[in-house]
Amino acid sequence: MLKLRRFLKNYKKELILGPFFKLLEAIFELIVPIVMSKMIDNGITQNDKPYIWKMSIIMVILGVCGLGFALTCQYFAAKCAYGFGTELREALYKHINSLSHSEIDKFGTSSLITRMTNDTMLVQNGVNMFIRLAVRAPFLIIGATVMSMLIDVKLSLIVIGSSLMMVGAIALVRKKTLPMFKNIQKGLDKLSLLTREALDGVRVIRAFSKQKQETDKQLDENRRLAKACVSAGRVSAILSPLTFMIMNLGAAAIMWFGGIRADAGDITQGEMTAFVNYMNQLLLVLIVLSNLIVIFSRASSSAARINEVFETLPSIDNGSTVKADTDKPAVQFENVSFKYPGASEDSLSSISFTLEKGETLGIIGSTGSGKSTLVNLIPRFYDVTKGCINIFGINIKEYDMTALRSMIGYVPQKAVLFSGTIRDNMKWARPDATDNEIISALKTAQAWEFVKKMPNGINSHVSQGGKNLSGGQRQRITIARALVGAPPIVIFDDSMSALDFLSDSELRKAIKNDLSESTVIMISQRASTLKNADNIIVLDDGVSAGQGTHEELLESCEEYREIYSSQTN
Amino acid sequence: MFKVILRILKYSKPYKLSLIGAVIFSFIGVLLSLFVPVLIGKGVDVMIGKGKVDLAKLFQICLILALTVVTSSSFQWFSSLATNRLSYNTIRDIRKDYFLKLGIVPLKFIDKNTRGELISRAVNDIETVSDGLLQGFTQLFSGLVTIIGTLVFMMTVNVRIALIVMILTPLSLFTAAIITKLSHDSFVKQSEMRGRMSSFTEEMIGNQKVVKAFCYEDRAMEEFSKINKALKKSGIRSVFFSSMTNPTTRFVNGIIYAAVGTAGAFSAVGAAGFLGVMTKGQLSSFLLYSNQYTKPFNEISGVVTELQNAAACAERVFSVIDSEPEPSDENKPVLKAADGTVSIKDLSFSYQPDKPLIHDFSLDVKRSGQKIAIVGPTGCGKTTIINLLLRFYDADSGTISISDTDIKTVTRDSLRSCFGMVLQDTWLFAGTIAENIAYGKENATIEEITDAAKAAHAHSFIKRLPNGYDTIIDEEGGGLSQGQKQLISIARIMLTDPPMLILDEATSNIDIRTEQRIQRAFEKLMNGRTSFVIAHRLSTIKNADMILVMRDGNIIEQGDHYDLIAQNGFYKKLYMSQFE
């Protein structure tokens, strides 16, 4: 957690003043029992009415000041914690944005999301609690102990003894229940897994008339979970009565030994009252402290997960070239090999081809043959391990990243849209795109037909992930998004799978007409989609099994023939 | 809310002993704990001064105190144990009813609700009910006993000072109400901002690769900063307001403490006649009472919100438990061995009454072994046919007959067992591969399983897995590819050997060799069986005995390949697009 302290830099004032005010409040809190004991011993015993008034006014003043100090502290704590959290999130998001695909793969996006949201919240909460309680709790513990020692050293041994017992009891119960609660969490996870399974497979389950078995599985797990809960409850149920017992048996002991001391004239009635009070205070703080330890240990494991992200540095550095010479060949692979970090074998080996401006390249092959890997190298999502890639005659490593990527229109395999309007989504590649450019891209992508019919046209709302559109519609818009402003290079990563044959062929025709200047790279599982490409690469396990036009490949490439004949009969 | 709580109490009826126990034990435990301050006060009173302490009496008091404490905490412990038993068993029973109902609701219900929501009801909502409602109930009870008991005890010690405490009590409630009101708005605002923050991160980081492809990082950062700043503003407010509760209650407590102390002191010196007379020990116990008196008020106000929350969750759970089950199959005959003939007459169906889908559709499969291909663009409602054939949904009008028997007149189980179904998004459950293959035939021998896998061309890849047929398939599918999963579900059907088939061909993302295997397995499977195939492959379509062309949920053309080409309609357009 200490590693994250740099985000507290702007909140030093709050970080120091917050605990300071809390300390003042705690001091006042400790004084109150003394004042009360003075009131009893001096006021009542000596029948001194003005003294009683004085003491009660002091108590009220102490209360008001305590409230003021506490509120000041809480305000500083809130400001500091949220300020810290805000800066932490900002820096973390910025850092995530700088990571390349290999680092994102290392963490996985869902884990990055949890770190970004949950973990930062837990750390922020830890800071908040730190300011509010980390000073107060130890201070009250020490203070109450010292105060009771000041009143009577021998009696204070009872206080210390019962505090130690309390700490022991809490630690013991926590230690015993921790694995039990983990067990319960596991049971809950299992139960939701079973429910998900039964819902996902409902058609198969019913087709096999297996409803009863599935329900039985759930009920078994349900019974097991209930048992686990009862046994964990049995242990944790003892905590509260046990602390109550320790606290009050301690009080009984203080009474008895206190009585003996009072008989000897070493302690007064007022002091006795204060004593019992301090003990109560002390034991209550111990309970708070045990909760605090839980919060801190969660915050520190979250902090470690966040640090892991900060410590991962982007593996791709930026070049400086911003302008390309468009007369040179558009895309050129020279003996390119690629190995994923940590993998034992190359995912691509010795791929070479040259693609002139305006040409179309098709890539075909089975899953895992390296098709997507190949196109991912062009926008430098990953860097090649061997060989080099040139775009318009310049090695891609020399380009400025933004300049390189804005030359490329990329259509991912998964059709992802973002919440906002269709227009917002269409402006992703070019923030300054005009409506005419947007509409013409939608037309090329065969999407204008249905967008036009939507109630608000291109201003229609798209919900998160594009859930309010059908798969085919989504895919057509993601295609259009990449085509806005007719980029010089367009990459389709198997992006037509959700289209039927008819839309597929119409789309290809439109691309040929409307984007005649652009160089197109197209991955597909359908041979018919790639048939008219100027060049087709057949990939097999990362190696080129054949390259050429459709006719050439039918002639020379066994794999291609196999694919083609199996699909067209 | 009251009705829901009653219903939950009804669920706890079998455990009414625990309920009664929890209430009685808690009552005794709390009551005894209230004696503690009185005893401490008595003890203080004994310590009059040097040499004047009645040690025998003090010993007696201390002994009683110790006994009271031990008994009280034991009873509190018993009460917790009883509450535990009561709540976890009740929750188990509610969950049981939930799962039982989920097994018999019509598919319409499951399709209508999202998976996430139904799972969250089964897990989170019921959990909230257990935390809030049942634990809350006992807390509420012991809180009330504490408040009333404390008041009664204070009254017995000194009525007038007790009245001071009672008058000051609303102060505590009042400030709590003000804080709640103040913090409510900022809480709503904060949770809204947090929701925006997490959906933004989910959207952007979840699709970080797309963000990078479009160089959208800077624009995303800008938007993120905006949300982050707004979150900071609302967060500080809500955290501050909510953190006011503790110091403010402490303050109110302090005021009551001071008031009791002052009033007590005056009455102890006998200077305030109207307050009566009081000993120092009584004052001491009064002070202890006033310390513990306000605590249950805060707890109760917390319990009330939790109760509301729990009742809302319970309501959502009960709405599933109360949903209409599928009409019963009882007393219906079993469909005897199907001969592979299917006749559909004037069938009409729609998911929503105002959007008619299938209208007056008829089809006659007169002999076994025919292939019916269903073709059309994605999302055109091809699964509707499956839904109707297997009676996942019932047609609005018209009949479907198998072997001349109307499928509505036989049991669903016997109807479904006539069909073998392989869907594109294959469903495998967590378990071994052998268990998954044997899903339709429980006591299949290992030979039968391997034979089926061999017939489905799945044996060779299963054999190569580290644990062969005993490889466990986990949540993610255990590293099997989509195509391999489909081969396993074909093996599943091979084992049950049904007279009719429903097959869903893969569209994409299956590697070509596996796809060829699937194709060969499909062909073997279809041999001699009536099959309905949702087809994407030209070869399947061309060889079909009957093609149903669907568009926007409707069947628009019907016939074999040559008929449809001759019709010169949508099918022809679809077909010809292949060759352009």
Residue of A nearest to B95 (CA): A222
Which of B31, B131, B197, B284 is most worth mutating to test chain A (most A CB atoms within 10 A of its CB)? B284
Q: Is residue B331 part of a domain?
A: no
Strands A360-365 and A519-523: parallel
Taking the CA atoms of residue A256, residue A260, residue A263 and residue A266 in that order, the dihedral angle to the nearest 10 degrees is -110
Close Cβ partners of A50 (under 8 Å, ≥ 6 residues apart): none
Nearest one of A396, A339, A328, A333 to A361, comparing CA atoms: A333
Q: Find tokens 């030359």 and name the residue.
A: A407
B328 domain-assigned? no
Q: Does residue B252 sit in the same domain as residue B394?
A: no
Counted domains in chain B:
2
Residue where one domain finishes, among candidates B321, B354, B373: B321
For residues B160 and B294, state if they share a domain.
yes
Q: For B65, which of A44, A90, A255 is closest by C-beta distance?
A: A255
How many residues are present in chain B?
580
Q: What pLDDT sits at residue B520?
A: 81
Is residue B250 domain-shared with residue B283, that is, in the same domain?
A: yes
Query: Torsion angle, CA of B55/B60/B62/B68, rounded to 10 degrees?
Result: -170
Instruction: Chain A: give the shortest CA distance to residue B24, in Å.
Output: 16
Record: contact A226-B46, CB cut-off 8 A: no
Partner residue facing B416 (CB), from A209, A244, A265: A209
For residues A165 and B329, give the distance between their C-alpha atoms in angstroms, rounded to a whole number.
64
**B466 plus B530 within the same structural domain:** yes
* Chain B contact set for A81 (CB, 8 A): 239
| B265 and B365 assigned to the same domain | no
In a shared domain, residues B304 and B439: no
pLDDT for A549:
92
As a whole number of Å, the end-to-end CA separation of chain B is 65
The upper half-sphere exposure of residue B222, i.e. CA atoms within 13 Å in the direction of its Cβ, equals 3
In terms of C-beta density within 10 A (0-12 exposed, 13-18 middle, 19 or more buried), how is residue A447 classed?
buried
- How far, in whole angstroms, is CA A116 from its chain's centroid? 4
Choose among B65, B214, B439: nearest Cβ to A429.
B214
Contacts of A229 (CB under 8 A, 6+ apart): A184, B84, B88, B91
Rounded to the nearest angstrom, the gap between the alpha carbon of residue B525 and the centroid of all alpha carbons in its chain is 39
Min Cα distance B62 → chain A (Å) is: 5
pLDDT at B477: 55
Strand order in the sheet with A348-355: A348-355, A331-338, A386-391, A394-395
pLDDT on residue B450: 92
Whichever domain contains B312, its CATH number is 1.20.1560.10
| B392 and B305 in a common domain | no
A209 interaction partners in chain B (CB closer than 8 Å):
412-413, 416-417
Nearest-Cα residue of chain B relative to residue A243? B73
pLDDT values of chain A reduced to their tens digit, one per residue, 569 residues: 778 888 998 899 998 899 999 889 888 888 888 888 888 888 877 878 888 888 888 988 988 998 999 999 999 999 999 999 999 999 999 999 989 888 888 888 878 888 888 889 889 989 988 888 878 888 888 888 888 888 888 888 888 898 889 889 888 988 888 888 888 888 888 888 888 888 888 888 888 888 888 899 999 999 999 999 899 888 888 888 898 899 889 888 988 888 888 888 888 888 887 888 888 778 778 878 877 887 888 888 889 999 999 999 988 888 888 887 778 889 999 999 998 887 778 889 999 999 999 999 999 987 678 888 999 999 999 999 999 999 998 999 999 988 899 899 999 888 888 889 999 999 998 889 999 999 999 999 988 988 988 888 899 998 877 777 877 788 899 999 999 988 999 999 888 766 777 778 888 889 888 888 899 999 987 788 888 899 999 988 888 989 999 999 989 988 888 888 777 65
List the Cα angle A238/A239/A245 in 5-degree steps: 90
Residues B364 and B314 in one domain: no
The residue type found at A235 is: V
Contact B282, B245 (CB under 8 A): no
- Confirm if A467 and A418 have CB atoms less than 8 A apart: no
Query: Alpha-carbon distance B370 to B359, whole Å?
Result: 23
How many Cβ pairs within 8 Å bridge chains A and B? 433
What does the alpha-carbon distance between residue B60 and residue A467 come to, in Å, rounded to a whole number?
A: 75
Residues 308-327 of A with CB under 8 A from B: none
pTM value? 0.75
Please report, for the domain that includes residue B573, its CATH number.
3.40.50.300
Q: Confirm whether B403 is domain-assigned.
A: yes
| Residue B199 with chain A: CB contacts under 8 Å | 419, 464
Report if residue B330 sits inside a domain: no
The partner residue sitting opposite A226, judged by closest CB among B92, B246, B483, is B92
Locus of tokens 């297997």 = B390
Distance separating alpha carbons of residues A549 and B471, to the nearest angstrom? 43
Residues of chain B with pLDDT under 50: none
Angle at A209 between CA A206 and CA A212, to 5 degrees: 100
**Cβ of residue A60 closer than 8 Å to a chain B Cβ:** yes
B520 → chain A, closest CA residue: A566
CATH homologous superfamily, domain A331-568? P-loop containing nucleotide triphosphate hydrolases (3.40.50.300)
Give Cβ neighbours of residue A420 (< 8 Å, ≥ 6 apart): A461, A462
**In whole angstroms, what is the distance from residue A95 CA to residue B199 CA?**
19
- Those residues whose C-beta lies under 8 Å from the C-beta of residue B383, and which sit 6 or more positions away, are B534
Neighbours of B562 (CB within 10 A): 9
Residue B234 to residues A10, A72, A81, A376, B231, Cα–Cα distance (Å):
19, 18, 13, 41, 5
Structure tokens at A539: 């990939």
User: In chain B, what's the furthest Cα-to-Cα distance?
Assistant: 122
Residue B378, domain extent: 342-577
Same fold, A2-310 and A331-568: no
Length, in residues, of chain A: 569
Is residue B454 included in any domain, yes or no?
yes
In angstroms, the CA A368 to CA A353 distance is: 20
Statement to judge: residues B368 and B290 lie in one domain: no
Distance of CA B459 to the CA centre of its chain: 38
Q: Which of B292, B321, B350 is the last residue of a domain?
A: B321
Is CATH 1.20.1560.10 the right assignment for the domain spanning A2-310?
A: yes
**Where do the structural domains in chain A lie, given as residue ranges?**
2-310, 331-568
| B85 Cβ contact list (under 8 Å, min separation 6) | A230, B15, B18
Residue B305 C-alpha, separation from nearest chain A C-alpha, in angstroms: 22
B506, part of any domain:
yes
CA dist., res. A524 & res. A365, Å (int): 8
ipTM of predicted assembly, 2 dp? 0.80
User: B333 in a domain, yes or no?
Assistant: no
Nearest CA in chain A to B96: A219
What pLDDT sits at residue B64?
94
Interface with A, mutate which of B417, B570, B578 (most A CBs under 10 A): B578
Does residue B435 share a domain with residue B304?
no
Look at residue B411 and tell me if it is in a domain. Answer: yes
The answer on B25 and B153 residing in a single domain is yes
Choose among A451, A517, A516, A521: nearest CA to A480: A451
- pLDDT number for residue A114: 83
